[in-house]
Amino acid sequence: MTNDGFRPLGPSGQVEENDVRPYYLPERKLRLNVARVGGRLYAFAGLCAHERCPLSAGLLRGTTIQCQCHGSTYDLATGAVLTGPATESLAVYEARENQGQIEVKL
């Protein structure tokens, strides 16, 4: 972890434009995803808040992601539910690129 609270996840090239990549942090038992849209990185919970389906396999449309299991849609910037059946927002995290690495602040 860096002095400013960011944790490296991997090389910047692992997340291409309009793509989602899953990560697992074993020390925190945390699944999260990183998406790149319009050159910006978005980090968010790895599992849908509805029935815990993996969102890395969901449908990414701009800055929204739709769960493959039941169709819940979330805003990647805020984690807000846009369409149900989910009723709880996703956790979102600050993400950045630093010296060729993707980093996330938990």
pLDDT digits (tens, 9 = 90+) for 7-25: 999 999 999 999 999 999 9
Q: Does domain 6-105 have CATH number 3.40.109.10?
A: no
Please write the tens of the pLDDT for every residue from 89-102: 999 999 999 999 99
**Distances 87 to 20, 67, 71 between C-alpha atoms, Å:** 22, 13, 12
Please write the tens of the pLDDT for every residue from 63-78: 999 999 999 999 999 9
Please tell me the pTM assigned to this model: 0.92
Whether residue 58 contacts residue 21, with contact meaning beta carbons closer than 8 Å, is answered with no
